[in-house]
Structure 1
Amino acid sequence: MKKLIIFILGLLILSLGCSPIYYSPNAQNVPLISAKGEKNISVNAGSSNANNLFNSVSVLDLQGSYGITNRLAIQLNAGFFNVSKNERGGGGNGKLFETAIGYYVPVNEHFLFETYALFGFGNFNNIVSGPASNTINENISGSLMRYGIQPDFGYKSKDISVAVSTRLLKLNYFDISGNLTYEGENQVDYLTQNSSYLLFEPALTLRAGWQAFKIQLQLGNSYNLTNVSFRQGKTFFIAGFHLNF
């Protein structure tokens, strides 16, 4: 009986761990700009859980921002995603490049409000192997476009910064190709016919250190308002460093 339970659990883990992932949230760029000419650079690494306990996506984020006037700022962001290959050869990767323009206003000496209009594009690739896939190493890949708004409100001092932010995003897929059938459904047809999603992504950002250099932590979640069962990264956590000069 014990061997049977272990065997069933093993099959379950293999099945869940090899499911495709079509989207994972990147870190939110929350610079808390307070003056013209202010520059920020962040480098972060982290992960998001996708679909189940056994499936996660690692991410590396590069972010920059600049105050171009006393009220306007711009951003440039890049995210690189990876799902490590398993023993059967399944895995995946993706990229997202994003630009943003926004409005910022200091509320008082320490509190600030910002809001940004975001536009990004990228791609994804999945190689799936396991019991849920009809054959070993079936694949699916495609391109995506993501746009929306990101308001944030935060506290900023020389030593610490704390901010709450959220993204409201439209996510669109195109140029889908591959041969993946998962759980009896052709995934290329599925993603082609269901190519548009609305996302809500709140986050909390904490920074501590010195005025020019701080350690940064961020915790957030991606809610798919169109399809709660969509195969994507959800809760995300990142850690890194933030430069202000």
Structure 2
Amino acid sequence: MKRRYLAVLCLSAAMGFSSCSKHIYAPNAANVPLLKEKNEFKAAVTPYNLQAAFALTNNIAIMANGHYVYQVNQGVENYPSDDIFINGDLRGGMGEGAIGFFKPLDPKKRMVFDVYAGGGAGSFRTLASGAGEEGVNKEDFRLRNRFSKIFIQPSIGFVHPVVEAAFSSRFSCVNFYDTYMGPRAFENDATAKSDFVRIADKSTIFYEPTFTVRAGYKYVKFQSQLLIAVPLTEGNTQYDRMNNYFQPVVFSMGVSVNIAHWYDDFRKK
């Protein structure tokens, strides 16, 4: 069953199928620092994410992440604001903190393993279908929730002064609460209304495989990342309607900055 849904998700993402999605949770980009040594610092900035990590010792590091979703299509006529990737009405964000372990796997320290565990909290709000009709009060269609989360994220990657590549498997347990639904939200769809309320019944576990690539030279690199969010919780309606309520694909691009001494020693090895 899960494999069938994952296959449909990937096919839809690849072909760009449009759907009327009202996401009330958008995963943040994964922070994949791949640190190598004590006092190394790495940060990344994208339009929706701010990430930082610092190595306290040669094996222990901390990270902090910020995620904010805002409207990018303000004033643009006929902008496709609702599809499998984007809900143009979604607003909100989250903050996270984590502690982790990292270790180079070879003498030249080009392969790195790390694992981080942490938690965070945030909130999102959006509008149900019908809010865009003329003469209606949009707040009557408001959908809103708050959430807390914990996660564990193992990664393995290749690190070089010119290029970095990593694969991560983040597992997130998200607990939704303070769910709010406007008086006209889902007014003609009793099943959708019931499903939305049930999202807060129990925690939802997401498996989030992530591919990260960085290219540049030494301290500054261009960063690109693809994350797929698959809800694993069975026996609940969010699994059947995952594209309706949970954003399934996150693609981000930005800039990564890395401050480390190992660049100075790279040519000597």
TM-score by length of structure 2 reads 0.72
- The answer on 1:79 being equivalent to 2:87 is no
- Asked whether 1:205 is paired with 2:212, we answer yes
Q: Check 1:29–1:131 CA distance in 2 against 1; reply closer, same or farther (3 A cut).
A: closer
> Does 1:30 pair with 2:32?
yes
1:189 maps onto 2:212 in alignment: no
2: CA distance between counterparts of 1:232 and 1:132? 21
Aligned to 1:176: 179
State the shift of 1:82 in Å.
3.2
In the alignment, which residue of structure 2 is the partner of 1:115?
115
1:186, distance to aligned residue in structure 2 (A) = 2.6
Question: Deviation digits for residues 142-189 of structure 1, max 9, x if unmatched?
Answer: 211111200000110111111111101101101112323263243663
Q: Give per-residue Cα distances to partners, 1:79-121, cap 9 Å, x unaligned.
A: 111355798x982201110001000011112111000002010
Read off the aligned partner of 2:115 and give its amino acid letter.
Answer: T
- Unaligned segments of structure 2, at least 5 residues: 1-17, 82-87, 234-238, 260-269
- Given that 2:65 and 2:95 are in contact with CA atoms closer than 8 Å, whether structure 1 keeps it comes out as yes
Offset of residue 132 of structure 1: 11
| Offset at residue 229 of structure 1 (A) | 2.2
C-alpha deviation, 1:131, in angstroms? 8.8
Note closer, same or farther for the CA distance 1:178–1:229 as it changes in structure 2 (3 Å cut).
closer
Shift of 1:130: 2.4
> Given the alignment of the two structures, is residue 153 of structure 1 paired with residue 156 of structure 2, yes or no?
yes
Aligned to 1:218: 225
What are the residue-to-residue correspondences of 1:217-236 with 2, within 5 Å? 217-226=224-233, 227-230=239-242, 231-236=245-250
The verdict on how the C-alpha distance between 1:207 and 1:82 changes in structure 2, with shifts beyond 3 A counting, is: same
Question: Structure 1: where are the runs of 5+ without partners?
Answer: 1-14, 46-59
Q: Is the 8 A contact 1:129 1:136 kept in 2?
A: no
Structure 1: distance between partners of 2:131 and 2:91:
21
Pairwise CA distance, 1:136: 5.8
Judged with a 3 Å threshold, the aligned counterparts in structure 2 of structure 1 residues 130 and 27 are, in CA distance, closer, same or farther, namely: same
Deviation, 1:16, is 4.1
Q: Which amino acid aligns with 1:41?
A: A
Partners of 1:128 and 1:166 lie apart in 2 by 32
CA distance in 1, matches of 2:165, 2:22: 35
Q: How does 1:121-132 map to 2 (within 5 A)?
A: 121-130=121-130
Q: Secondary structure at the match of 2:200?
A: helix
AA in 2 matched with 1:159: V
Distance 1:131 1:35, change over 3 A: closer
Q: 1:192 to 1:151 in 2, by over 3 A?
A: closer
Same amino acid, percent of matched pairs: 28
How many positions carry a matched residue from both structures? 213
Give the distance between the partners of 2:200 and 2:132, measured in 1 at CA: 21
Of the candidates 92, 95, 98, which is equivalent to residue 96 of structure 2? 98
Structure 2 residue matching 1:99: 3-state secondary structure: strand
Q: TM-score under structure 1 normalisation?
A: 0.79
The structure whose residues are more often strand, as a share, is 1
2-structure distance, mates of 1:212, 1:232: 35
What SS is found at the alignment partner of 1:233? coil
Q: Give the counterpart letter for 2:211 in structure 1.
A: L
> CA separation of 1:174/1:220 partners in 2, compared to 1, >3 Å: closer, same or farther?
same
Query: 2:24·2:143 contact (CA, 8 Å) conserved in 1?
Result: no
More helix by share: 2
Kindly provide the amino acid, as one letter, of the partner of residue 58 in structure 2: N
Bigger Cα displacement from structure 2, 231-240 vs 62-71: 231-240
Q: Which residue of 1 aligns with 2:266?
A: none
Counterpart-to-counterpart distance in 1, 2:179 and 2:168:
32
